[in-house]
Structure 1
């Protein structure tokens, strides 16, 4: 166990990583704040109504997934580049400790910093965007029908895919990982829709996996929700896939030779 993880060795590696990359991470935070101001501030300026929670949710999810995928790929970029991998793999620490430092920064720290930046910008924009008789609240993360807390579950899946792509692809890992994710998701959605068409024998208007099914019945749009147990299963699948990607990426890291 000592060979895989030593708290003293891990803390020294963590401090080394922080001292080397802190300035770059702070610059990334500044860029994130600028993009959030552009999206949220621009939306508030162009719209006559206050910034709605639906629009806040859309911006939150898009930038969370987009920035998170890019940031994670950057943190683990050395895994796919042979020249960079030499300095990374020869650090006086175990593969698990190196992996854990990157995981903490790209998943835990990124999530916390992103949420803090988003709510800071959203609060300022809402305070400045005041119209008499029109009010809007900050996005509620944990209550309501939007289930915004599920963003963290799906980010875990994207995070796992980004790490796996960094370890698996030798060149262009970001583009290749993103392309693979889009292709896989499209195939799943298309296959699911075809299967549902056969099962229901109707012209479906929407059939996202583990979500509601909508179709026309006597010129009326009908919606059928999956059983509650199946919805809970749908929430667990991204977590399981994320863990599998994390484990697979770590396995590839251990197999790399200098």
Structure 2
């Protein structure tokens, strides 16, 4: 067990990683804050001070998964550099400890920093926006039905697991290669999804949105088929199971890396 995980060794590795990359991470936070401020401020300006909850959530969601995917795809960038990869792989720490540091930074710490950054900028923009009008816009509540943090989290978890595996699997251009691979796979499933669903159900479907709903047409009437509410927890559980499998796959791919 000591060869896989040792708390003292892990903490030393975590501190070393933080000391080496904190300037890069702080710069990245600065870029995100600047982009959030620009986007939220511009949308507020275009909407004449009506930056509503849905607009805030849309910006939160897009930046959350977009910035997170890019950051995650670069977390193992040192492995693509011959000199840096040797230094990384020869560190006196297990592959699991190196994997865990990268996972904590790209999944846990990223979420904390992003949420804090978003709300700091959002509060500032709304304060300025509300100061000149009687109609006060509320700050985004991530417990609002249909606009919950859980909805954003499950999307981020899927994209994080894909980007995390791609970061280990590809040596160069991690984000571009991962995004292209995912796009090809998604296109394949979209193309086969409708004929496959029609064959399973034994009826011709007009439109099928993967994992969401299916539409069939009878005469001039359209019917929408959706999963029952009791099935949705199972679908969410299956999604997180796939995420876990991809995370495990990334770990074993990292174990294959040798000096």
TM norm structure 1: 0.90
User: Are the aligned partners of 2:74 and 2:174 in contact in 1 as well (CA < 8 Å)?
Assistant: no
Q: How does 1:191-230 map to 2 (within 5 A)?
A: 191-198=192-199, 199=201, 200-204=203-207, 207-214=208-215, 219=220, 222-230=223-231
User: Are the aligned partners of 2:69 and 2:163 in contact in 1 as well (CA < 8 Å)?
Assistant: yes
Change in Cα spacing, 1:237 to 1:186, as seen in structure 2 (3 Å) is farther
Q: Give the C-alpha shift of residue 233 in structure 1.
A: 2.5
User: Are the aligned partners of 1:164 and 1:249 in contact in 2 as well (CA < 8 Å)?
Assistant: yes
Equivalents in 1 of 2:15, 2:210: separation in Å? 43
Specify the SS of the correspondent of 2:224. Answer: strand
Residue 156 (1) aligns with residue 145 (2): no
Q: Which residue does 1:245 correspond to in 2?
A: 246
Change in Cα spacing, 1:208 to 1:136, as seen in structure 2 (3 Å) is farther
Q: How does 1:57-206 map to 2 (within 5 A)?
A: 57-130=57-130, 132=133, 134-198=135-199, 199=201, 200-204=203-207
Specify the SS of the correspondent of 2:230. Answer: helix
Deviations 1:196-241 (A, max 9, x none): 455342423xx32221334556655543321123322222233112
Between 195-204 and 148-157, the greater mean CA deviation after superposition: 195-204
User: Are the aligned partners of 2:213 and 2:226 in contact in 1 as well (CA < 8 Å)?
Assistant: yes
User: Are the aligned partners of 2:77 and 2:171 in contact in 1 as well (CA < 8 Å)?
Assistant: no
Q: Which residue does 2:37 correspond to in 1?
A: 37
Between 40-49 and 210-219, the greater mean CA deviation after superposition: 210-219
Equivalents in 2 of 1:126, 1:189: separation in Å? 40
Specify the SS of the correspondent of 1:23. Answer: helix
Change in Cα spacing, 1:119 to 1:168, as seen in structure 2 (3 Å) is same
Specify the SS of the correspondent of 2:140. Answer: coil
Q: Give the unaligned 5+ runs of structure 1.
A: none
User: Are the aligned partners of 2:75 and 2:167 in contact in 1 as well (CA < 8 Å)?
Assistant: no
Change in Cα spacing, 1:51 to 1:37, as seen in structure 2 (3 Å) is same
Equivalents in 1 of 2:61, 2:188: separation in Å? 22
Q: Give the C-alpha shift of residue 153 in structure 1.
A: 1.7
Q: Give the C-alpha shift of residue 6 in structure 1.
A: 0.9
Equivalents in 2 of 1:13, 1:175: separation in Å? 29
Equivalents in 2 of 1:149, 1:58: separation in Å? 14
User: Where do 4+ consecutive residues of structure 1 move more than 6 Å?
Assistant: none
Q: Give the C-alpha shift of residue 179 in structure 1.
A: 1.0
Q: Which residue does 2:12 correspond to in 1?
A: 12
CA RMSD of aligned residues (A): 2.0
Q: Which residue does 1:46 correspond to in 2?
A: 46
